[in-house]
């Protein structure tokens, strides 16, 4: 029998954010169905670096970052690339991005992000335990490595923001780094370790296990594309999908980088873009770091996964439709060899795999979480950019509070869609 106040709820999108939202809503007593156009976990949640970094409070648009852009763009191994034909389309987003990067604004963004990402592992734990997926989630820390002793000083503001928001950081010199992670190149002479951080050793398997448990607990998965909403007097009547109208009392939009049109039909113009990212995996690698390790200058992460060693990162601005540029993935192997010289000089095709995915990114590095303009029954939960795996469990709890009419556990005002009006 349904609990009093239980509703029939639709969650649009079965990525990490959608499945966490669906799971928390289900635990609150609702009857929940996921609407997924593809297959669960096959979007950005598949190929990311797998890090649950509660310390990820630093926005992408940090002060001065724009000054690095020309150097990055002209370096073939650089962390950023742009398809020039896409420049006119992305120019308004870039303008907002540049404006978001003032010292005052990034301090406010970091303060807003910390309560969303900090409790990630605690908020994920009940879902993972119920799904029997504990073996996929690890709390071993996250290491950032630098090639010069002065490196961390260059990133001073980022480290200040982390520390100001309660992140504990341990520093290591070259010898200590060697003991901590013997596989690392001797070029690295400084390491900063954040022990509170965790990771998953298989992001896709994690989403799939969570979805399986959701289905075993009475949830449904509808294979369809959501296209719009039918409202009656500002209340949601049904979701318009490729499989017809699906009645629901409320809907949560978790469509990742594809959420923009669904917000637009409800009158919310959200400057959602995709920061495309790549990964390259080496099966049976000769060496692996023991914990996720970020090359702070190269801006990529090496994560030990159940299926091999994953190098993930880089940003490509080219929109949702352009085909992948696999050179962007292959440079990760070159960068990875510089990080871990014990890797082989070449690999047969069957030991290498590559992937491209769409980070759903807002220019101020904050997601959109909260009710739509047109109706309180459609709630947004998208745009988590570089930290969607980490922010998903708390996002799920927040939308569950909103559906129940409870005051959310943290301040969600910074995440409103109206901040772009
Ligand atoms: C290279 C790279 C590395 C990253 N590393 C990390 C990391 O280490 N830690 C971290 O926290 N984050 C990381 N991220 C970011 C993270 O992967 C994303 O923020 C996160 O996966 C977004 O999750 P999501 O559920 O919002 O979107 P997605 O996983 O993309 O899921 C959205 C789902 O919605 C479906 N959908 C969309 N529109 C519709 C519709 N209209 N109808 C039906 N279904 C729809 C899609 O098919 C998709 O399955 C990384 C990203 C990249 C690219």
| Number of compact structural domains in the chain | 2
Instruction: Give yes or no: residues 265 and 304 share one domain.
Output: no
pTM of the entire predicted model: 0.97
Query: Which protein residues are within 6 Å of ligand 1, measured from CB?
Result: 12-18, 35-38, 42-45, 48-51, 225-226, 254-256, 258, 262, 277-279, 312-313, 357, 359-360, 382, 384-390
Atom number in ligand 1 closest to CA 386: 15
Q: Which of 153, 173, 159, 57 is nearest to 414 (CA)?
A: 57
Distance from the alpha carbon of residue 364 to the mean position of ligand 1, in angstroms: 18
The protein residue with its alpha carbon nearest to ligand 1, atom 48, reads 43
The tens-digit pLDDT sequence of the chain (421 residues) is 455 678 999 999 999 999 999 999 999 999 999 999 999 999 999 999 999 999 999 999 999 888 888 888 888 888 899 999 999 999 999 999 999 999 999 999 999 999 999 999 999 999 999 999 999 999 999 999 999 999 999 999 999 999 999 999 999 999 999 999 999 999 999 999 999 999 999 999 999 999 999 999 999 999 999 999 999 999 999 999 999 999 999 999 999 999 999 999 999 999 999 999 999 999 999 999 999 999 998 889 999 999 999 999 999 999 999 999 999 999 999 999 999 999 999 999 999 999 999 999 999 999 999 999 999 999 999 999 999 999 999 999 999 999 999 999 999 999 999 999 8
CATH number where 120 lies: 3.30.9.10
Claim to verify: residue 155 and residue 166 sit in the same structural domain:
yes
Atom number of ligand 1 nearest to Cα 227 = 41
Q: Tell me, yes or no, whether 115 lies in a domain.
A: yes
In this structure, the answer to whether residues 331 and 369 fall within a common structural domain is no
Answer yes or no: do 411 and 393 share one domain.
Answer: yes
Give the residue from 361, 388, 411 where a domain finishes. Answer: 361
Q: How far is the CA of 383 from the centre of ligand 1 (A)?
A: 9
265 and 410 in a common domain: yes
Instruction: Give yes or no for a contact between 123 and 301, defined as CB atoms under 8 angstroms apart.
Output: no
- Of 361, 391, 408, which closes a domain? 361
Same domain, 127 and 264: no
Distance in Å, CA 18 to ligand 1 centroid:
9
Axis crossing angle, helix 16-27 with helix 203-216, rounded to the nearest 10: 30
Residue 104: Cβ within 10 Å count: 8
H or E segment and range at residue 304? strand 300-305
Contact 356, 15 (CB under 8 A): no
Residues recorded for the chain: 421
Ligand 1 centroid to Cα of residue 15, in Å, is: 6
Residues 266 and 369 reside in one and the same domain: yes
Instruction: Confirm whether 2 is domain-assigned.
Output: no
Instruction: Assess if residue 1 is contained within a domain.
Output: no
Does residue 213 sit within a domain? yes
> Ligand 1 centre and the CA of 212: distance in Å?
18
Q: Is residue 51 part of a domain?
A: no
What tokens appear for 274 in the block? 């995709």
Q: Are 254 and 400 in contact (CB under 8 A)?
A: no
* Sign of the C-alpha dihedral computed for residues 135, 115, 80 and 91 taken in this order: positive
Per the CB < 8 A criterion, the answer to whether 46 and 21 are in contact is no
Q: State whether 170 and 257 are in the same domain.
A: no
In a domain, 394, yes or no: yes
Same domain, 191 and 220: no
Residues 348, 316 share a domain: yes
Are 190 and 284 members of one domain? Answer: yes
Question: Does a structural domain hold residue 317?
Answer: yes
Instruction: Evaluate whether residue 411 is within a structural domain.
Output: yes
Q: What is the DSSP string of 343-356?
A: S-S---GGGEEEEE
Q: Do residue 114 and residue 189 come from a single domain? A: yes
CATH at 13:
3.50.50.60
How far does the centroid of ligand 1 lie from the alpha carbon of residue 256, in Å? 5
Q: First and final CA of the chain: distance in angstroms?
A: 43
- Among 361, 390, 405, the domain-final residue is 361
Task: Among 224, 326, 328, 359, say which to mutate for ligand 1: greatest number of ligand atoms within 8 Å of CB.
Answer: 359
Pocket test for ligand 1, best of 55, 220, 256 (most atoms within 8 A of CB): 256
The parent domain of residue 324 ranges over 56-201+273-361
60, 164 Cβ separation under 8 angstroms: no
What stretches of 75-227 show up as alpha helix (H) in DSSP?
Answer: 87-100, 103-117, 120-131, 151-154, 156-164, 174-180, 203-216
């Amino acid at each position: 029998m349904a609990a009093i106040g239980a509703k029939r709820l639709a969650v649009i999108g079965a990525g990490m954010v959608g499945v966490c939202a669906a799971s928390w809503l289900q635990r609150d007593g609702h009857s929940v169905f996921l609407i997924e156009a593809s297959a669960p976990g096959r979007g950005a949640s598949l190929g990311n670096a797998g890090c649950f970094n509660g310390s990820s409070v630093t926005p992408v648009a940090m002060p001065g970052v724009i000054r690095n852009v020309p150097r990055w763009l002209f370096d073939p191994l650089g962390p950023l690339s742009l398809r020039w034909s896409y420049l006119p389309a992305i120019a308004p987003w870039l303008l907002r991005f540049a404006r978001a990067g003032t010292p005052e604004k990034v301090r406010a963004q970091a303060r807003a992000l910390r309560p969303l990402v900090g409790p990630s592992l605690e908020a994920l734990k009940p879902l993972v335990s119920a799904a029997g997926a504990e073996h996929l989630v690890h709390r071993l820390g996250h290491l950032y490595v630098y090639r010069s002793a002065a490196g961390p000083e260059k990133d001073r503001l980022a480290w200040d923001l982390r520390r100001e928001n309660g992140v504990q950081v341990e520093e290591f010199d070259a010898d200590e780094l060697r003991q901590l992670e013997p596989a690392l190149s001797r070029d690295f002479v400084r390491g900063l370790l954040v022990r509170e951080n965790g990771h998953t050793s298989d992001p896709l398997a994690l989403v799939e296990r969570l979805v399986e448990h959701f289905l075993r607990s009475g949830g449904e998965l509808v294979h369809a594309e959501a296209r719009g909403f039918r409202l009656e007097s500002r209340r949601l009547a049904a979701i318009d999908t490729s499989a017809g109208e699906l009645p629901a009392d409320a809907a949560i939009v978790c469509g990742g980088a594809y959420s923009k049109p669904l917000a637009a039909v409800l009158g919310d113009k959200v400057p959602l873009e995709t920061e495309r990212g790549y990964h390259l995996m080496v099966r049976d690698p000769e060496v692996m770091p023991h914990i996720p390790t970020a090359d702070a200058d190269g801006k990529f992460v090496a994560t030990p996964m159940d299926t091999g060693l994953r190098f993930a990162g880089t940003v490509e601005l080219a929109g949702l439709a352009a085909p992948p540029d696999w050179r962007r993935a292959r440079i990760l192997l070159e960068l990875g060899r510089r990080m871990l010289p014990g890797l082989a000089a070449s690999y047969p095709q069957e030991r290498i795999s590559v992937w491209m995915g769409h980070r759903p990114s807002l220019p101020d590095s904050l997601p959109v979480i909260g009710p739509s303009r047109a109706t309180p029954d459609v709630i947004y939960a998208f745009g988590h950019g570089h930290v969607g795996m980490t922010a998903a469990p708390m996002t799920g709890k927040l939308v569950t509070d909103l559906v129940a009419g409870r005051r959310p556990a943290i301040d969600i005002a910074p995440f409103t869609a109206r901040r772009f009006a």
